[in-house]
Amino acid sequence: MTDIKAPSYSSFEDCITPFKSARLGTHHLRRIRDCLSSEHAACFKFENFNAVQAECWKELYLGHGNMVVTAPTGAGKTVLFELAILGMFRTSDKAKALYLAPLKALCQEKVREWKQSFGELGEEVVELTGDEDFRALKGRGTSRLAKARVIVATPEMWDALMRQAGRSQGFGIVEDLQLVCLDEVHMLNMPKRGALLEAVIARLQALRNGGYGVKPRFVAVSATVPNGSDVAKWLQDDRGDGALKTFGMDFRPVPLAIHVQTYKSAKNEFVFQEALNHHLSPIIRQFSDGKATLVFCVTKRACETAAKSLQQEGSGQGPGWLDPHLQLLLKEKAMSLTDSTLRSLVPNGLAYHHAGLNATDRQIVEQLFLQSAIVVLFCTQTLALGVNLPARLVIVKGTTAYKDHGWEEYDELEMLQIMGRAGRPQFDRQGVAVIMTETGNAGRWQQIMAGRPLESRLPGNLTEALLAEVVAQTTPNIQSLSTWLKSTFLAVRCARDPGHYATLCPVFINGVHPLLSSDGPDLEQFLRALSQQELEKLVTAGLITCDGAELQATALGEVASRFSVRYDTIRWLQQAPAPADLKELLWLIAQSADFAEYRPRHGEKTQLRDLAKKDAVRWPLAGPVDSAAKKVLVLLMLALADSPRSQLSWELKSQQSQVLRRAEPLLRVVSELFETRKEGRALAACVLMRNCLRKQIWENSTMLVRQLPNIGDVGAVALKERQLSSLEALESGDPRVIEIALGRRPPFGSTLQKKLRSVPRIKLRLCPQGTDGTISIDCGGSPLNCNESQLGTGFVHCLAYGAPGGQLLLHRRFPARNPQGLLLNLQNSTGLVVHLIYEDLIGFDDFQILGDVRMDRMAVGPSVASQSSTPGGKAKRQKVEKLSGHEATVALARARQGAQIQTLASSASPVRAMSSQTAPSFEGRAGRAGRADGFAAPDFQSREIPVAPAPMMLMQPVQPMQPVQPMQAVQLMQPVQSMQPMQPSCGPKGCTASPTPMMSRACSDSQVDQPDTVMIRIAAGRLRWVNRTSSDALATGRIHPQCQSGAQFRSQFIRASDMQMSSTQNSVHEFALPPQSYGLWGFVDHGAKGQ
């Protein structure tokens, strides 16, 4: 173990030179009542300003200029914002103030405080920190947002509001902004949040400088940084540089000593955290001086484990360290605690504090800590942000925390917030912070604590930032885009350090970088060239259009910006082949760069590998889960699996939630991309997959009731045991049985059935119109219910694409209670596939196929051609996968396109009857797993699954019957106008019953027989095979009536006895068609004898 002390206080002052009048002790404390009006002074719960506040109050409260303040943590910087806000209240009764802070917890803390203090003045404070807040403010809350005087937001949410509202709605709110408060401006150094904050501020700056009437005042507060002057120059107003006030570490109420102690790393983070527990006791003895200690741990479990470990080692304070009176108090309070582990720790002066405790236990722990009864408190990072519990000693046990994508190092902002708890002004003359980290990290944290210069993080995110400005309409032309670039922190830092930013932004004019010109840096030329380069990238990607000098975002650009999808991801998706089914689509999403950080860790690989081979995943993986894409694929499939759900570790559950939240918006972007490319099959898969992810259930689930409200996994299993797992069964079932299965009281079952019946039912009907290829798509006819749906928005998607190419012909979204009739022209397609997909409920979707279905029920996939037999002569059993209706459609179309379905038009070899539902190979159109273009699929296991029912296939219209040429398929029927059953035959000669509408469209017996033909006729429920040949030939054929039995479709095979007929023989064969027939398909082979 090595102890590396932070630089002395004088070294901090060497980095940041405070102005002379701000030295500690040169100002007397100022009474608040002497500075502010009595009404405004009442907002503060203390009587005097400290030295920092006394130095700044006049310019903030009475002035109007911009100000940047850099000061150490704990110097009372929040009061500076309150002074500026009160100054705005003093001069205007309509103006608004915007407070931006990087962390949601900080914003919520300010909202609680300001609602009380500013509420006494009659001013409204609105919080904008999460999706729920944003949705509320977009709807009825818009008027509330318009009335608010103070808006408290994170940069992410304010950026989202500006992007989505644009100048149509949000610009009116921006126009009223008179004050922008920027807290924790040193977050500019953070790789992700820094770029966003810079873009948001630059947008407001550009509006101020672009003549839009928006001229907000900026007040920024930062931790101690060396280049605060750059921030002041960036936020300068029309009069020149903004006021800058810097305060050194001697302005901290309690001086802070920082120690960084390093330890040997372990094989994983859990082992390392466990090892650190044994080093806590000597650190507490050395630095706490017997006073309050806070130990920050990475997880709730780590808090409890560390507390118990210290208890076993004697709390780190030695014998007799607790006052007898405190011991009695602790034993008494411990009896009131509900957490058993906490109850055993508190009598020893130890406790933990995290979100897993109930409110009562947390309150007791906080009170005991403030009374110095609890001496060592273990807590998570949330305590550093939400609860004011300072201590003499703060220990950071490990600098790696588990975040969205896995274990990550604390960033600078988080560490400053934690260390800000060290030192209690009313008790201590010094605070101590000890950072426990791995060997090799000491230098990094020493540099961070000393204060690093702020740098622009925009170069790595510039393309996305420019797109956001075009979408928000703040840069409607090239000139305004240049104004925006000049308003960035990047422009300031390029002028200060051109060499560094020339490397980050490689822009060359005639082989020379403008920032490295021999005549000196040319900032104007550099910004023009940089904007031109980024615009070309956006135009090439189809994200914006440039008409002269005017800029306009495309539909794809708007969706990409709205959901914050990176430019690199868009370009990668544009190069990817369109997925042909759900499996390929899911793999495409999993490979996105948005999920690159979800690399499987050493401790996760075994669990993921085992889960990837189980029945819980729809497509098991054969190999190891050794990449981020495979890990994301497994997590998504597990999220959609039926009950019982697979048990994941809490880390994987957390990552699964993050993946789900990111995958759905990503699919929105992918949908827009494929709609732009007219990829109908891929777009249909995207719409369906979005619904699946939203409901976390597969479209072919055996327990579709799981998606309904108040059902859940356990309820779905209970309903399945009573044969109520489908939506239809649940709707028609006994409501009392439903209530018994779910343990609910009446009228729960009746209410649930009423909600189901409120969903309009729409069925597709495809009807040819004339002979020019026009098809009528009838969506619905008469839905069962035309009221408002009580299960979601009640919208449906109707998608139509040609077969076999899959070109998108139509995509409409409309209310299910108001179905639409649509027309399509199929002159350029040989077939049509139409999908009707409900947006908020899975299980009522419908689809129809119209077109060339001259194919036997063949196996789809490369394994069919090379299918081998066992030594005994038996063919090996084909392993197939269960497909949904959508996948079955895709399988047939893909097979036909890839010549994997053998038809008379494509092959003279005998036709082998096999299931048309055999799953397509995942290689499909994307190629084999070894392809080098980055889109190769993983190895999926093959397993036997029951074959799904065949989809309904409607036939193409037929022209008047012509002689059948050799090797030409016979197209028998056209689409059915109505689903009426075929009348059964009454005998060999038929019956007097009139034929069905379908029968009336077949060729009649009155047609003149022609020589050298094989005629097929249908009448009165019977099929007639007439062979008239004049040469020595053979005629064979197969007929497949398409039959319906309830909801099950099947294809019944009728063979013409392998007819062998001579040229002089006139043969007539009759067959009785099965009842419930609704269509036919088949072929005739007419060839010479001996073939």
Any idea where the domains of the chain sit in the sequence?
A: 7-247, 256-450, 459-488+503-562, 702-757, 969-1088
Please list, in sequence order, all residues whose beta carbon lies within 8 angstroms of the beta carbon of residue 620, skipping any fewer than 6 positions away: 612, 613, 614, 940, 941, 943
Above pLDDT 70, what percent of the chain? Answer: 68
Q: What band does 1090 get if pLDDT is binned at 50, 70 and 90?
A: very low
The least confident of 262-266, 446-450, 527-531, 980-984 is 980-984
Q: Is the pLDDT of residue 290 over 60?
A: yes
Residue type, 630: K
Q: Is the pLDDT of residue 461 over 60?
A: yes
pLDDT of residue 860: 28
Please provide the average confidence, as pLDDT, over all residues in the chain: 73
Q: Is the pLDDT of residue 371 over 80?
A: yes
CATH code of 7-247, in short, is 3.40.50.300
- Rg of the chain over Cα atoms, rounded to whole angstroms, equals 37
Please list, in sequence order, all residues whose beta carbon lies within 8 angstroms of the beta carbon of residue 361, skipping any fewer than 6 positions away: 337, 338, 339, 342
- pTM score above 0.75: no
The least confident of 357-361, 574-578, 1006-1010, 1015-1019 is 1006-1010
Q: Is the pLDDT of residue 306 over 80?
A: yes
Asked if residues 168 and 474 have their Cβ atoms less than 8 Å apart, the reply is no
Helices (H) and strands (E) in the chain, counts: 36, 35
Between these two residues, 825 and 793, which has the higher pLDDT value? 825
pLDDT of residue 946: 35
Q: How many C-beta neighbours within 10 Å does residue 939 have?
A: 14
Q: Residue 984, preceding bond cis, omega within 30 degrees?
A: no
CA distance 81 to 87: 10
Q: Is 947 in a helix, a strand, or coil?
A: coil
pLDDT of residue 523: 93
Exposed / middle / buried, residue 369 (Cβ in 10 Å: 0-12, 13-18, 19+)? buried
Q: Which fold has domain 459-488+503-562?
A: Arc Repressor Mutant, subunit A (1.10.10)
Q: Is 487 in a helix, a strand, or coil?
A: coil
The least confident of 155-164, 232-241, 964-973 is 964-973
Q: Quick one: average pLDDT of 541-557? A: 91
**DSSP 8-state symbol, 357:** S
Exposed / middle / buried, residue 211 (Cβ in 10 Å: 0-12, 13-18, 19+)? exposed
Strands across the sheet containing 217-222: 125-128, 150-153, 96-100, 177-182, 217-222, 67-70, 243-246
459-488+503-562 has the same fold as 7-247: no
Asked if residues 1042 and 1025 have their Cβ atoms less than 8 Å apart, the reply is no
Nearest to 117 by CA among 32, 193, 34: 32
pLDDT of residue 933: 44
Half-sphere exposure of 736 (CA within 13 A, CB side): 0
Q: DSSP string covering 72-139, please?
A: -TTS-THHHHHHHHHHHHHH-SS-EEEEE-SSHHHHHHHHHHHHHHTGGGT--EEEE-SHHHHHHHHT
CA quadruple 890, 892, 894, 895: dihedral, nearest 10: 160
Half-sphere exposure of 737 (CA within 13 A, CB side): 14
Q: Is the pLDDT of residue 1089 over 70?
A: no
The least confident of 9-18, 371-380, 393-402, 735-744 is 9-18
Q: What is the 3-state secondary structure (H, E, C) of 889-929?
A: HHHHHHHHHCCCCCCCCCCCCCCCCCCCCCCCCCCHHHCCC
CATH C-level class of 256-450: alpha beta
